[in-house]
Amino acid sequence: MNLAYARLQRCVPHIPHDQKLAKIKTLRLAMLYIKHLEAVVDGSVRIRSSSSHELRPLEVEDFASIAMAEIQARNNYKDLAEKELQRGVRTEDICRQTVPERYALQEKTTQNHFSSIIRFP
């Protein structure tokens, strides 16, 4: 697993090669890079050039600032959880929103499975 994360980290540009990132950060950066590439290919995203105030198409090289911001961001899950609680979001609701339904254990499936094995009089 560690080897796979190391390979993934090498595929994402603008990450210092001598820096080992947390797995969650590597995954976030990979997802951000894929979204960035989609926006570049789509061509509908335009940004302001730093040298002039004109809008220009998004380029692959623009990912450097996104990567650096993500690398420098702290993974403070406690603070994130407290913010969600202040907004009134229950932990159960967050989990239900983020976990695909195909991974959810359904009672009906479990009952059907056991009913084929165990016969009741």
User: Taking a C-beta distance cutoff of 8 angstroms, is the pair 47, 33 a contact?
Assistant: no
Tens of pLDDT, residues 15-24: 988 889 999 9
Greater pLDDT, 102 or 12: 12
Tens of pLDDT, residues 45-66: 999 887 778 899 999 999 999 9
Q: How far apart are CA 84 and CA 40, in angstroms?
A: 32
Count of all residues that appear for the chain in the document: 121
User: 105: alpha, beta or left, given left = phi > 0 and alpha = psi -120 to 50?
Assistant: beta
Q: How far apart are CA 71 and CA 29, in angstroms?
A: 8
Instruction: Give residue 92's pLDDT.
Output: 66
Tens of pLDDT, residues 68-99: 999 888 766 666 677 777 888 776 665 555 44
Q: Which domain holds residue 98?
A: 2-117
- Residue 57 amino acid letter: P
Q: How far apart are CA 23 and CA 8, in angstroms?
A: 10
Cα dist from 19 to 9, 14, 107, whole Å: 10, 11, 45
Greater pLDDT, 43 or 88: 43
Structure tokens at 30: 């990979």
Structure tokens at 17: 């090669």
Question: Count of domains in the chain?
Answer: 1
Q: Does pLDDT of 11 surpass 90?
A: yes
Predicted confidence band at 5 (pLDDT cuts at 50, 70, 90)? Answer: very high
- Residue 15 amino acid letter: I
